[in-house]
Chain A
Amino acid sequence: MKHAVQKTLVVGAVALAATLSFGVAVAAPKVGAPAPDFSVVDTAGETWTLGGLAGKKVILEWTNHDCPYVVKHYASDNMQALQKEATDAGYVWLSVISSASGKQGHVSPAQADDLTDDRGAAPTAVLLDTSGDMGRAYDAKTTPHMYVIDPEGTLVYMGGIDDKPTTDQADIAGASNYVRLAMADLAAGNPVGTPVTRPYGCSVKY
């Protein structure tokens, strides 16, 4: 309800322009095309936009701490290790929580910070996309669902974190981590070899 009123106010402000902005389904993001822009607040209240990250390599990680597939990668320290590796290599790592209020995985900023501390996670920031706007713009379907964006703002990878769609931590050792592979391809100046894969996990709780 509140959301609807807010939406109307925003729309009302741009009244005439909005007359032409039809409620059309946003086209799905495409690898090789500019990544969709977003404007989402992190746990410290800072607003992050893709435009503000121009010239930086960005990794987006959709997450929900109660999802067993997310637990697989955090309880094993796999995700934390990847976050450190990426941020050390100059990536901006944004963990995105698109769970709607009252849904599984929805957290307050303080809870999100506690989760980061407790799990020893190392994202650059945790974005609270409670409205789900950013998730829908990226067509994020699962937790985890990973996206890699190059310094020009082009989406170069979207899909699963690896090729073992299970909740079993034992599968991590033998898995090909697609995000790590994409980072290696980018570092070598090559196009990403496997740019689109099936994301696996729990559905995003819009």
Chain B
Amino acid sequence: MMGICIASSSSILHRGSASRGLFQTGLVLLVLSLVWPGLVPANPVTTENVTARLVAERMEVAPGDTLDLALVFEIRPGWHTYWRNPGDSGDPPRIRWTLPEGVEAGPLRWPRPEVIPVGPLANYGYSERAVHLIALSVPAQWPIGEPVHIRADVDWLVCEEECIPESGRFDLTLPTGAAVGPAPIDPLQADVFAAARMGLPDGRIEGAVLGVADAGLGLVIPADGLSSEEGDGVEIGGAWFFAGEWGLIEHAAEQPWRVVDGKLRIGLSPGALADQAAPDGLLVIADALGEVRSYEVAAVRGPLPEDIARDRPIGLPLAFAFALLGGLILNLMPCVFPILAMKALSLINGLSGQGPEAARERVLHGLAYTAGVLFFFAGLAVLLLALRAGGAAVGWGFQLQYPPFVVFMAYVFFVIGLSLAGAMTIGARLMSLGGARTGSGTAGAFGTGALAALVAAPCTAPFMGAALGYAVTLSWPLALAIMLTLGFGLALPFLVLSLVPRFARLLPKPGAWMETLKQALAFPMFAAAAWLVWVLSVQTGSAGVALVLGGLVLLAFGLWLRERTRSLPSARRRWGLAATSSALVGALYLGVATDRLAAPMLSEGEQSASGLASEPYSPERLAAAREARRPVFVNMTAAWCITCLVNERVALSASDVARSFSDAGVLYLKGDWTNRDPAITAYLADHGRNGVPLYVFYPPDGDPQILPQILTEDMVLRAIRSSAPGSSG
């Protein structure tokens, strides 16, 4: 009868149940050893949380031979044991062997683990069952017939949310036989060993590179190393990298992955010892059918290969040129245009005069306006770069991914609209429409500049994407310089208009028509506010709309009160001011409250508003379609991106486009960046961008093609046609 001893240091063992289990186990062992006299049965150790046993694969072992043992944990549901790197907490099982002279036990082998999230942390471990194989070798000079007695003292940690260290002693006696070659397999254990081998790594991958990537670390793995036994390439449906030791990566961080040019790229978040820990680990891959394989990866540290040749940086001089050009064109985009029309009015009103006084005034205004634009762009750039340095995946227009900012913008447009329509005088100074008061004009021009920059965010002009995408890869002073160049481009037309008197003289004479135009301009502002409310509805659902509409009412009420009380005696005016302030604070509070609202799930119908049936973008879906040689059209968009929406209306909703998509079997993948989404930010970064829109067409064969940010039906049709089979293009 084999002794079963449970280490007494384990205070958690319930002695009553343990001894009952012991008795039953002993009975079973007794029966088994009567039936198979040569069999070495398991020594189960049963605790509250696991049943552990050490078993041998074969009935006996020949001297000079090696056989596999298995340490098996049957784990209580909801509880876990751990992999060799347990992740953020936990501890792997450990064995202390007591072996006869000459007998040797190899290391514990580790089946592929799973990621076990624990709040904000993550562990690598096993649920339900963990089987660790161990090779045991018996020396050639071992006397035949003499059994091999081995003893293993095992410590393991088992956790649900709480952790319990447990231990057990396992004794195993292996008969030795003279048989040459492996002894028969123990039929009772065959399944255990077969299943255990399924979980072991399927191979080892050479040539992997770990390097610094845009958002942290990147692991690039040659995908041909992932081929199946038949030698076919594996269609990857999921991938995860388990770092071999603590400190290399943040275990709980997401791991966005994609296949580019036959290489699997995995984005990793660096751990506390990212530059010292060994760049090794286990890669677990699920194919499209859900079959899982794992590979040992020993990566080399080094620079990551470029993704796609075309995505090489555009270079510094070109980036500055593109930024300036993009800024200039931004003036014509629908976001900024109404603000500029207002600015033009103020120029005509106050500054078309003659003489040195008027000329000096004009110059001052032009400079103040430019300063306003640059000031806001600098602030935005610093924030953007700081957030990126802090590890956040953000890009152009990122502030609109934050619902309270959208609300704030809606308020701004609404108030400007009210002011233009003549419902109140507040804000007129900001927009320098008062005109007559020359002293306040400079501050007003500065405000208009800041406003123009503020409202530019939802629009992307051509050239801008490439310039900004390149900027964020540079050191911060250069990145800031490129952002400021963009701002300068935006300010340039008015600066020129102010500085060169000849241009100013070309402006029409002031007159009554200006009041009409001013009032008419209120409507683009209201339209913008209405559109922002719609953006918010996409971000937060109807609850957010309720909050912002409530906020708008409060805001209007507050401003009306202010209007009505401003000419009253001072005591009552103070009351009016207090009431107005509370209304403003209330409106802001409602706006900020939208942050708590979760994004609603978009239905398929809403996703395909442009008339084309689309699927939501995921790296997995794209990789699968590429593998299947299906053409793919990727559209990265956001509800707050006006340029994106215009493109969808103009270029993507035509019936010709829909027909051509279905004829060519194009898969239309749409990535929605309305709310923050690291996978989409990573995709944009790979294409040298940090903002939407981005359109990429993947022909069935050959390199993907990036389409312009201002899209036409013709461009889309041409791209698809050129890839169609039989076409000459």
Residues of A bordering B, CB below 8 Å? 4, 8, 11-12, 15-16, 18-20, 22-28, 66-69, 103-104, 136, 139, 141-142, 158-159, 165-168, 196, 198-206
Contacts and interface: CB of A to CB of B under 8 A. Distances in A.
Contacts of B118: 203
Contacts of A205: 119, 161
B279 to A, nearest CB: 16
B163 A68 contact: yes
Contact of A8 (B121, B273, B405, B596): B596
A93 B215 CA distance: 36
Interface in B222-279: 246-247, 250, 272-273
Contacts of B389: 27
Given A142-B88, A201-B89, A202-B163, A22 B273 contact: no
B387 A24 contact: yes
26 contacts: A12-B588, A12-B592, A15-B589, A15-B591, A19-B405, A19-B592, A20-B399, A20-B405, A22-B392, A22-B398, A22-B402, A24-B394, A25-B391, A27-B390, A66-B162, A142-B89, A166-B165, A167-B165, A196-B273, A198-B246, A202-B159, A202-B163, A203-B88, A203-B163, A206-B120, A206-B121
Nearest to A201: B89
Contacts of A166: 91, 155, 165
B123 A26 contact: no
Q: Which 7 A-B pairs have the closest CB atoms?
A: A15-B588, A203-B89, A198-B246, A167-B165, A206-B119, A24-B392, A12-B589
Nearest to A158: B272
B90 interface: yes
B281 to A, nearest CB: 15
Interface in B74-129: 88-91, 118-121, 123
Contacts of B392: 22, 24-25
Contacts of A167: 157, 165
B354 interface: no
Contacts of B91: 165-166, 200
Contacts of A141: 88-89, 121
Interface of B: 9, 88-91, 118-121, 123, 155, 157, 159, 161-165, 246-247, 250, 272-273, 383, 387, 389-392, 394, 398-399, 402, 404-405, 408, 585, 588-589, 591-593, 595-596
B639 to A, nearest CB: 18
Contacts of B247: 196, 198
Please indicate which of the listed interface residues A4, A8, A20, A23 has the most CB atoms of chain B within 10 Å of its own CB: A20
B9 A168 contact: yes
Contacts of B588: 12, 15-16
Nearest to B252: A141
Contact of A15 (B88, B159, B161, B592): B592
A201 B383 CA distance: 37
A165 B687 CA distance: 44
Contact of A23 (B89, B398, B399, B595): B595
Contacts of B592: 8, 11-12, 15, 18-19
A22 B392 CA distance: 10
A95 to B, nearest CB: 18
Contacts of A15: 585, 588-589, 591-592
A151 B161 CA distance: 36
Contact of B163 (A26, A67, A168): A67
B212 to A, nearest CB: 16
Nearest to B407: A19
Given A8-B595, A22-B394, A203-B121, 4 more contacts: A11-B595, A12-B585, A69-B163, A141-B121
Contact of B120 (A16, A69, A136, A196): A136
A162 B123 CA distance: 21
Please indicate which of the listed interface residues B163, B165, B405 has the most CB atoms of chain A within 10 Å of its own CB: B163
B423 to A, nearest CB: 23
Nearest to A23: B595
B383 A26 contact: no
A134 B592 CA distance: 24
B390 A26 contact: yes
Given A104-B161, A203-B89, A4 B596 contact: yes
Contacts of A103: 161
Contact of A24 (B89, B390, B596): B390
Nearest to A167: B165
A166 B591 CA distance: 50
Nearest to B388: A24
A16 B412 CA distance: 13
A139 B89 CA distance: 12
A108 B660 CA distance: 68
A25 B162 contact: no
Nearest to A72: B165
Contact of B387 (A22, A66, A168, A203): A22
Contact of A27 (B119, B391, B585, B593): B391
Nearest to A16: B588
B387 A202 contact: no
Given A15-B585, A19-B405, A24-B390, A104 B121 contact: no
A139 B121 CA distance: 9
Contacts of B246: 198
A19 B387 contact: no
Contact of A203 (B161, B165, B402, B585): B161
B229 to A, nearest CB: 37
A68 B121 CA distance: 19
Contacts of B595: 8, 11, 23
B176 to A, nearest CB: 34
B640 to A, nearest CB: 15
A203 B123 contact: yes
B481 to A, nearest CB: 22
Contact of A19 (B273, B391, B398, B404): B404
Please indicate which of the listed interface residues A23, A68, A139, A201 has the most CB atoms of chain B within 10 Å of its own CB: A68
Contacts of B272: 28, 139, 158-159, 196
Contacts of B121: 141, 203-204, 206
B596 A25 contact: no
A70 to B, nearest CB: 10
A205 B161 CA distance: 8
Nearest to A64: B162
A104 B402 CA distance: 35
B438 to A, nearest CB: 30
Contacts of B383: 20
Contacts of A196: 247, 272-273
A206 B120 CA distance: 8
A20 B400 CA distance: 11
Contacts of B120: 136, 206
Nearest to A100: B119
Please indicate which of the listed interface residues A22, A166, A167 has the most CB atoms of chain B within 10 Å of its own CB: A22
Contacts of A18: 404, 592
A159 B271 CA distance: 12
